Amino acid sequence: MTVTADELIEEPGRTSGAHPAVGAGELTVWNRAMVDSGATLNLSGVGRPTVDKHSTGGVGDKVSLVLVPLVAACGAAVPQLSGRGLGHGGGTLDKMEAIAGWRAALTVEEMGSQLRSVGAMIAAATDDLNPADRRLYQLRDVTSTVDSIPLIASSIISKKVAEGTDALVLDVKTGSGAFMVDVDRARELARTMVDLGEDSGVRTVALITGMHTVLGRSAGNALEVAEAIEVLNGHGPDDVVKVTLALAQEMLTLVDIDVDPASVLASGKALEVFERMVTAQGGNLSVGLPVAEHRQMIASPAGGYLSRLDCRAVGVAAWRLGAGRARKEDPVSATAGVVCLAKPGEKVEAGQALLELHCDDLDRFDAAITALEEAIEVVDEAPELPSLLIDRIAR
Protein backbone atom coordinates (compact mmCIF):
# COMPACT_ATOMS: atom_id res chain seq x y z
CA MET A 1 0.00 0.00 0.00
CA THR A 2 1.31 3.43 -0.91
CA VAL A 3 1.15 6.07 1.79
CA THR A 4 0.62 9.54 0.39
CA ALA A 5 1.99 12.78 1.75
CA ASP A 6 -1.52 13.93 2.61
CA GLU A 7 -1.99 10.87 4.79
CA LEU A 8 1.28 11.34 6.63
CA ILE A 9 1.57 15.06 7.12
CA GLU A 10 -0.66 17.50 8.92
CA GLU A 11 -0.62 21.23 8.46
CA PRO A 12 0.41 23.60 11.25
CA GLY A 13 -2.28 23.90 13.88
CA ARG A 14 -3.86 20.52 12.97
CA THR A 15 -1.67 18.30 15.12
CA SER A 16 -3.11 14.96 16.17
CA GLY A 17 -1.49 14.79 19.62
CA ALA A 18 -3.27 15.71 22.83
CA HIS A 19 -3.46 19.43 23.45
CA PRO A 20 -2.63 20.70 26.92
CA ALA A 21 -5.61 21.22 29.18
CA VAL A 22 -6.49 24.58 30.68
CA GLY A 23 -4.09 25.18 33.55
CA ALA A 24 -1.32 23.01 32.09
CA GLY A 25 2.21 24.12 32.85
CA GLU A 26 3.76 26.88 30.81
CA LEU A 27 6.44 24.53 29.46
CA THR A 28 3.76 22.23 28.02
CA VAL A 29 2.07 25.22 26.37
CA TRP A 30 5.45 26.41 25.06
CA ASN A 31 6.16 22.92 23.73
CA ARG A 32 2.83 22.76 21.90
CA ALA A 33 3.49 26.14 20.32
CA MET A 34 6.81 24.85 19.01
CA VAL A 35 5.12 21.76 17.56
CA ASP A 36 2.41 23.87 15.95
CA SER A 37 4.98 26.16 14.30
CA GLY A 38 5.18 23.64 11.45
CA ALA A 39 3.72 20.48 10.03
CA THR A 40 3.57 17.18 11.93
CA LEU A 41 3.71 13.58 10.79
CA ASN A 42 0.70 11.33 11.23
CA LEU A 43 1.98 7.77 11.58
CA SER A 44 -1.35 6.13 12.43
CA GLY A 45 -1.41 4.34 9.07
CA VAL A 46 1.96 2.57 9.21
CA GLY A 47 0.41 -0.61 10.58
CA ARG A 48 2.52 -0.97 13.73
CA PRO A 49 2.79 0.81 17.08
CA THR A 50 5.40 3.55 16.84
CA VAL A 51 8.15 4.17 19.37
CA ASP A 52 11.36 6.17 19.19
CA LYS A 53 14.46 6.80 21.26
CA HIS A 54 16.47 9.94 21.83
CA SER A 55 19.93 10.14 23.36
CA THR A 56 21.39 13.32 24.78
CA GLY A 57 24.64 12.23 23.15
CA GLY A 58 28.06 11.05 24.07
CA VAL A 59 31.32 9.62 22.78
CA GLY A 60 31.01 6.33 20.90
CA ASP A 61 27.22 6.31 21.24
CA LYS A 62 26.29 4.13 18.27
CA VAL A 63 23.30 2.60 20.06
CA SER A 64 20.70 3.91 17.58
CA LEU A 65 22.31 1.98 14.75
CA VAL A 66 21.56 -1.26 16.61
CA LEU A 67 18.45 -0.25 18.54
CA VAL A 68 16.32 1.03 15.65
CA PRO A 69 16.45 -2.20 13.59
CA LEU A 70 16.27 -4.34 16.73
CA VAL A 71 13.02 -2.82 17.96
CA ALA A 72 11.61 -2.96 14.43
CA ALA A 73 12.52 -6.65 14.27
CA CYS A 74 10.50 -7.09 17.47
CA GLY A 75 7.36 -5.72 15.79
CA ALA A 76 7.29 -1.96 16.34
CA ALA A 77 7.88 0.86 13.86
CA VAL A 78 10.75 3.18 14.75
CA PRO A 79 10.57 6.57 12.99
CA GLN A 80 13.90 7.99 14.11
CA LEU A 81 14.61 11.52 12.92
CA SER A 82 18.23 12.19 13.89
CA GLY A 83 20.78 14.98 13.74
CA ARG A 84 24.41 15.67 12.99
CA GLY A 85 27.23 16.00 15.47
CA LEU A 86 28.66 19.24 16.80
CA GLY A 87 31.78 19.37 18.98
CA HIS A 88 33.04 16.20 20.69
CA GLY A 89 29.79 14.23 20.36
CA GLY A 90 29.08 12.24 17.21
CA GLY A 91 25.91 12.58 15.13
CA THR A 92 23.88 9.57 14.03
CA LEU A 93 23.44 10.91 10.50
CA ASP A 94 27.20 11.46 10.16
CA LYS A 95 27.77 7.84 11.12
CA MET A 96 25.22 6.46 8.69
CA GLU A 97 26.64 8.59 5.88
CA ALA A 98 29.88 6.61 6.16
CA ILE A 99 27.93 3.88 4.31
CA ALA A 100 28.37 4.26 0.55
CA GLY A 101 25.29 5.76 -1.12
CA TRP A 102 23.21 6.12 2.06
CA ARG A 103 21.07 9.24 2.15
CA ALA A 104 19.57 10.97 5.15
CA ALA A 105 16.93 13.02 3.31
CA LEU A 106 13.65 11.19 2.78
CA THR A 107 10.40 12.59 1.49
CA VAL A 108 7.31 12.16 3.62
CA GLU A 109 6.07 9.51 1.18
CA GLU A 110 9.36 7.60 1.47
CA MET A 111 9.18 7.72 5.26
CA GLY A 112 5.71 6.21 5.28
CA SER A 113 6.55 3.55 2.74
CA GLN A 114 9.73 2.53 4.56
CA LEU A 115 8.03 2.34 7.95
CA ARG A 116 5.33 0.09 6.51
CA SER A 117 7.71 -2.21 4.63
CA VAL A 118 10.82 -2.23 6.86
CA GLY A 119 9.54 -0.88 10.17
CA ALA A 120 12.59 1.31 10.68
CA MET A 121 14.20 4.47 9.43
CA ILE A 122 16.98 6.80 10.48
CA ALA A 123 16.58 10.08 8.62
CA ALA A 124 16.91 13.84 8.77
CA ALA A 125 13.91 15.92 9.74
CA THR A 126 12.17 17.75 6.93
CA ASP A 127 12.41 21.55 6.94
CA ASP A 128 8.73 22.05 7.76
CA LEU A 129 8.82 20.00 10.98
CA ASN A 130 9.15 22.23 14.05
CA PRO A 131 10.86 25.23 12.38
CA ALA A 132 10.57 27.20 15.63
CA ASP A 133 13.17 24.94 17.23
CA ARG A 134 15.84 25.94 14.72
CA ARG A 135 15.15 29.63 15.27
CA LEU A 136 15.10 29.25 19.04
CA TYR A 137 18.39 27.36 19.05
CA GLN A 138 20.04 30.26 17.24
CA LEU A 139 18.72 32.57 19.96
CA ARG A 140 19.89 30.24 22.73
CA ASP A 141 23.35 30.17 21.20
CA VAL A 142 23.74 33.95 21.48
CA THR A 143 21.94 34.37 24.82
CA SER A 144 23.95 31.79 26.81
CA THR A 145 20.88 29.59 27.34
CA VAL A 146 22.05 26.47 25.49
CA ASP A 147 22.26 24.61 28.81
CA SER A 148 18.82 25.69 30.07
CA ILE A 149 17.04 22.50 31.11
CA PRO A 150 13.51 23.68 30.16
CA LEU A 151 14.76 24.79 26.74
CA ILE A 152 16.71 21.56 26.18
CA ALA A 153 13.65 19.53 27.16
CA SER A 154 11.26 21.43 24.94
CA SER A 155 13.67 21.26 22.00
CA ILE A 156 13.89 17.47 22.24
CA ILE A 157 10.27 16.68 23.09
CA SER A 158 8.72 19.08 20.57
CA LYS A 159 10.65 17.38 17.77
CA LYS A 160 9.45 13.95 18.87
CA VAL A 161 5.84 15.12 19.18
CA ALA A 162 6.05 16.61 15.69
CA GLU A 163 7.49 13.32 14.47
CA GLY A 164 4.23 11.64 15.48
CA THR A 165 5.58 8.77 17.59
CA ASP A 166 3.25 7.07 20.08
CA ALA A 167 5.96 6.48 22.66
CA LEU A 168 9.47 7.64 23.47
CA VAL A 169 12.42 6.36 25.50
CA LEU A 170 15.09 8.86 26.49
CA ASP A 171 18.72 7.94 27.07
CA VAL A 172 20.05 10.74 29.26
CA LYS A 173 23.83 10.51 29.51
CA THR A 174 25.89 11.66 32.48
CA GLY A 175 29.64 11.69 33.07
CA SER A 176 32.68 13.41 31.62
CA GLY A 177 31.70 12.74 28.02
CA ALA A 178 28.09 13.85 28.41
CA PHE A 179 26.42 17.22 28.04
CA MET A 180 25.06 16.75 31.57
CA VAL A 181 28.24 15.90 33.48
CA ASP A 182 26.51 16.05 36.88
CA VAL A 183 24.11 13.20 37.63
CA ASP A 184 21.66 15.42 39.53
CA ARG A 185 21.37 17.72 36.51
CA ALA A 186 20.86 14.66 34.33
CA ARG A 187 18.03 13.51 36.59
CA GLU A 188 16.44 16.97 36.46
CA LEU A 189 16.58 16.95 32.65
CA ALA A 190 15.19 13.41 32.51
CA ARG A 191 12.31 14.24 34.84
CA THR A 192 11.49 17.42 32.90
CA MET A 193 11.42 15.57 29.59
CA VAL A 194 9.36 12.66 30.91
CA ASP A 195 6.75 15.04 32.34
CA LEU A 196 6.72 17.12 29.16
CA GLY A 197 6.38 14.07 26.93
CA GLU A 198 3.53 12.65 29.00
CA ASP A 199 1.77 16.01 29.13
CA SER A 200 2.10 16.21 25.34
CA GLY A 201 0.38 12.86 24.79
CA VAL A 202 3.49 10.72 24.23
CA ARG A 203 4.18 7.79 26.56
CA THR A 204 7.67 8.58 27.85
CA VAL A 205 10.33 6.92 30.00
CA ALA A 206 13.97 7.92 30.58
CA LEU A 207 17.05 5.91 31.48
CA ILE A 208 20.10 7.67 32.90
CA THR A 209 23.24 5.97 31.63
CA GLY A 210 26.92 6.52 32.26
CA MET A 211 29.20 8.31 29.84
CA HIS A 212 32.36 8.27 31.96
CA THR A 213 34.31 6.54 29.23
CA VAL A 214 33.74 5.72 25.59
CA LEU A 215 30.70 3.56 24.91
CA GLY A 216 32.09 0.51 23.15
CA ARG A 217 35.61 0.67 21.77
CA SER A 218 35.32 3.20 18.96
CA ALA A 219 34.59 6.88 18.43
CA GLY A 220 34.34 7.97 14.82
CA ASN A 221 31.84 7.57 12.02
CA ALA A 222 32.81 4.49 9.97
CA LEU A 223 34.46 2.95 13.03
CA GLU A 224 31.18 3.10 14.93
CA VAL A 225 29.16 1.70 12.04
CA ALA A 226 31.54 -1.26 11.92
CA GLU A 227 31.11 -1.80 15.66
CA ALA A 228 27.32 -1.56 15.41
CA ILE A 229 27.30 -4.21 12.68
CA GLU A 230 29.46 -6.37 14.94
CA VAL A 231 26.79 -6.09 17.67
CA LEU A 232 24.06 -6.92 15.15
CA ASN A 233 26.07 -10.03 14.27
CA GLY A 234 25.83 -11.18 17.89
CA HIS A 235 29.22 -9.93 19.06
CA GLY A 236 30.53 -6.48 19.97
CA PRO A 237 31.30 -4.74 23.26
CA ASP A 238 29.28 -5.75 26.31
CA ASP A 239 28.49 -2.17 27.31
CA VAL A 240 26.92 -1.35 23.93
CA VAL A 241 24.84 -4.53 24.11
CA LYS A 242 23.76 -3.80 27.69
CA VAL A 243 22.57 -0.26 27.01
CA THR A 244 20.89 -1.27 23.75
CA LEU A 245 18.92 -4.11 25.34
CA ALA A 246 17.86 -1.97 28.31
CA LEU A 247 16.51 0.73 25.99
CA ALA A 248 14.89 -1.83 23.68
CA GLN A 249 13.04 -3.43 26.59
CA GLU A 250 11.69 -0.05 27.69
CA MET A 251 10.57 0.78 24.14
CA LEU A 252 8.77 -2.52 23.68
CA THR A 253 7.08 -2.27 27.08
CA LEU A 254 5.73 1.18 26.23
CA VAL A 255 3.98 -0.17 23.14
CA ASP A 256 2.83 -3.45 24.76
CA ILE A 257 5.02 -5.80 22.71
CA ASP A 258 6.00 -8.86 24.74
CA VAL A 259 9.15 -9.99 22.94
CA ASP A 260 12.63 -10.62 24.35
CA PRO A 261 14.98 -8.24 22.50
CA ALA A 262 18.04 -10.28 23.48
CA SER A 263 16.65 -13.32 21.67
CA VAL A 264 15.80 -11.29 18.59
CA LEU A 265 19.29 -9.77 18.53
CA ALA A 266 20.86 -13.23 18.79
CA SER A 267 18.64 -14.56 16.00
CA GLY A 268 20.08 -12.23 13.35
CA LYS A 269 16.69 -10.69 12.56
CA ALA A 270 17.83 -7.23 13.65
CA LEU A 271 20.78 -7.42 11.25
CA GLU A 272 18.38 -8.29 8.43
CA VAL A 273 16.26 -5.23 9.24
CA PHE A 274 19.37 -3.02 9.37
CA GLU A 275 20.44 -4.23 5.92
CA ARG A 276 16.96 -3.61 4.50
CA MET A 277 16.83 -0.15 6.12
CA VAL A 278 20.21 0.79 4.64
CA THR A 279 19.25 -0.51 1.18
CA ALA A 280 15.94 1.37 1.27
CA GLN A 281 17.88 4.60 1.76
CA GLY A 282 20.32 3.96 -1.07
CA GLY A 283 23.14 2.47 0.99
CA ASN A 284 25.44 -0.28 -0.21
CA LEU A 285 27.10 -2.31 2.54
CA SER A 286 28.68 -4.74 0.10
CA VAL A 287 31.40 -2.26 -0.92
CA GLY A 288 32.65 -2.10 2.67
CA LEU A 289 33.26 0.86 4.93
CA PRO A 290 35.99 3.44 4.28
CA VAL A 291 39.23 3.20 6.27
CA ALA A 292 41.75 5.88 7.23
CA GLU A 293 45.08 6.24 5.43
CA HIS A 294 47.09 6.73 8.62
CA ARG A 295 47.13 5.31 12.17
CA GLN A 296 49.06 6.24 15.28
CA MET A 297 49.23 4.50 18.65
CA ILE A 298 49.07 5.94 22.17
CA ALA A 299 50.93 3.72 24.66
CA SER A 300 50.29 3.04 28.34
CA PRO A 301 52.59 5.11 30.58
CA ALA A 302 52.87 2.29 33.15
CA GLY A 303 51.81 -1.23 33.98
CA GLY A 304 48.80 -1.98 36.16
CA TYR A 305 45.07 -1.42 35.69
CA LEU A 306 43.60 1.23 33.43
CA SER A 307 41.46 3.20 35.87
CA ARG A 308 40.51 6.20 33.73
CA LEU A 309 40.20 6.88 30.04
CA ASP A 310 38.55 10.28 30.00
CA CYS A 311 35.55 10.24 27.73
CA ARG A 312 35.53 13.90 26.80
CA ALA A 313 39.24 13.86 25.96
CA VAL A 314 38.76 10.91 23.60
CA GLY A 315 35.83 12.71 22.00
CA VAL A 316 37.87 15.87 21.51
CA ALA A 317 40.70 13.80 20.01
CA ALA A 318 38.29 12.18 17.54
CA TRP A 319 36.90 15.61 16.69
CA ARG A 320 40.38 17.01 16.08
CA LEU A 321 41.16 14.05 13.84
CA GLY A 322 38.20 15.08 11.69
CA ALA A 323 35.32 12.94 12.99
CA GLY A 324 33.39 15.96 14.33
CA ARG A 325 32.72 19.56 13.44
CA ALA A 326 33.12 22.93 15.17
CA ARG A 327 30.38 24.57 13.07
CA LYS A 328 27.25 23.09 11.51
CA GLU A 329 28.55 23.76 8.00
CA ASP A 330 31.90 22.00 8.53
CA PRO A 331 32.54 18.71 6.71
CA VAL A 332 33.36 15.57 8.67
CA SER A 333 35.64 12.67 7.85
CA ALA A 334 34.04 9.26 7.56
CA THR A 335 37.29 7.49 8.47
CA ALA A 336 38.71 9.58 11.33
CA GLY A 337 38.39 8.50 14.93
CA VAL A 338 39.79 6.66 17.92
CA VAL A 339 39.78 2.96 18.74
CA CYS A 340 40.13 2.01 22.42
CA LEU A 341 42.38 -1.04 22.56
CA ALA A 342 41.90 -1.14 26.33
CA LYS A 343 39.04 0.05 28.54
CA PRO A 344 38.95 1.06 32.23
CA GLY A 345 39.22 -1.94 34.53
CA GLU A 346 41.48 -3.91 32.18
CA LYS A 347 45.05 -4.90 33.08
CA VAL A 348 47.70 -3.25 30.90
CA GLU A 349 51.48 -3.38 30.49
CA ALA A 350 53.86 -0.42 30.28
CA GLY A 351 54.25 0.55 26.63
CA GLN A 352 51.16 -1.40 25.55
CA ALA A 353 49.06 0.34 22.89
CA LEU A 354 45.93 1.75 24.55
CA LEU A 355 44.50 3.90 21.78
CA GLU A 356 44.69 3.76 18.01
CA LEU A 357 44.16 7.09 16.24
CA HIS A 358 42.75 7.03 12.69
CA CYS A 359 43.09 9.93 10.26
CA ASP A 360 43.62 10.79 6.58
CA ASP A 361 45.60 13.95 7.38
CA LEU A 362 48.92 13.49 9.19
CA ASP A 363 48.87 17.12 10.33
CA ARG A 364 45.91 16.43 12.62
CA PHE A 365 47.63 13.89 14.87
CA ASP A 366 49.51 16.38 17.07
CA ALA A 367 46.36 18.24 18.16
CA ALA A 368 44.59 14.96 18.89
CA ILE A 369 47.52 13.67 20.97
CA THR A 370 47.54 16.93 22.95
CA ALA A 371 43.87 16.39 23.83
CA LEU A 372 44.77 13.02 25.35
CA GLU A 373 47.68 14.15 27.54
CA GLU A 374 45.71 13.99 30.81
CA ALA A 375 43.17 11.38 29.73
CA ILE A 376 44.87 8.17 30.87
CA GLU A 377 45.41 6.93 34.42
CA VAL A 378 46.93 3.58 35.39
CA VAL A 379 46.82 2.29 39.00
CA ASP A 380 48.12 -0.75 40.88
CA GLU A 381 44.76 -2.10 42.10
CA ALA A 382 41.74 -3.01 39.99
CA PRO A 383 39.45 0.06 40.13
CA GLU A 384 35.78 0.21 41.01
CA LEU A 385 34.06 1.38 37.84
CA PRO A 386 31.05 3.74 37.66
CA SER A 387 27.65 2.21 36.91
CA LEU A 388 26.51 2.03 33.31
CA LEU A 389 22.76 1.93 34.04
CA ILE A 390 22.22 4.54 36.74
CA ASP A 391 18.51 5.31 37.06
CA ARG A 392 15.09 4.98 35.48
CA ILE A 393 12.71 7.95 35.42
CA ALA A 394 9.01 7.47 34.74
CA ARG A 395 5.81 9.17 35.77
Catalytic hit among 52, 61, 94, 133: 133
Question: β-pairing, 167-174 with 203-210?
Answer: parallel
Rounded distance between C-alpha atoms, residue 174 and residue 63, angstroms: 16
Nearest residue to 284 via CA among 40, 51, 103? 103
159 an active-site residue? Answer: yes
The secondary structure of 82-147 as a DSSP string is: E----TTSPPHHHHHTTSTT------HHHHHHHHHHTSEEEEEPPTTBSHHHHHHHHHHHHTT-TT
**Phi, psi angle pair for 290, to nearest 5°:** -70, 150
Catalytic hit among 103, 116, 140, 276: 140
CB within 8 A of 179, min separation 6: which ones?
56, 57, 89, 147, 173
CB within 8 A of 249, min separation 6: which ones?
261
Question: Residue type at 224?
Answer: E
Q: Is 355 helix (H, G, I), strand (E, B) or coil?
A: strand
56 within 8 A of 172, measured Cβ to Cβ: yes
Catalytic hit among 159, 160, 308, 325: 159
**Strand (E) positions, 67-128?**
78-82, 120-124
235 an active-site residue? Answer: no
133 an active-site residue? Answer: yes
Catalytic hit among 54, 187, 203, 312: 54
| Active site amino acids | 54, 133, 140, 155, 159
